Amino acid sequence: MLKTGERAPEFTLPDETATERSLTEFLSSGAIVLYFYPADFTPGCTRQACVLRDLHTEIERAGLQVVGISPQSPESHAKFRSKYNLPFVLLSDQQKAVIKMYGVNGPLGVGVRRASYLVDGSRHIRDVVLADFRIGRHADFVRKAILLRAANPQ
């Protein structure tokens, strides 16, 4: 797993509309919360996404955006976003290349670890959380990211 202070690896992945999107593109408008999750429509991942949805106004007010990554298809992401009214981008990493680059591949290559990174506009990781089954830690992480962003806008 990448650590605070490291440079976030560049990537390009399809979003829920199958449009190719890059890390550089997202960072062109400032810092992001980049979160990795195992699968659309699972109870834990749905709870995590809905927490982020419910915090979205505060996230935007802080000048941040949220980008989620999991191995499901763009079509699955589109259905997931629509069903739960998710206001952020979901990227499809079906080959798990980016998941591996960020060190969040599951044990023995199975699954995806639940992790979030705060990445600033210069591609440096400012904070990170690994919380596999502790969804509440992600909400705490995002609230902390909002406070960090307010104290140090970049």
Q: Which active-site residues does the annotation give?
A: 45
In whole angstroms, what is the distance from residue 119 CA to residue 126 CA? Answer: 6
Tokens of 47: 């709870």
The residue among 52, 49, 10, 4 whose CA lies nearest residue 28 is: 10
What is the three-class DSSP state of 32?
strand
Tokens of 45: 């991942």
Residue 46 has a CB neighbour count (10 Å cut-off) of 18
Residue 99 has a CB neighbour count (10 Å cut-off) of 24
Tokens of 19: 């449009």
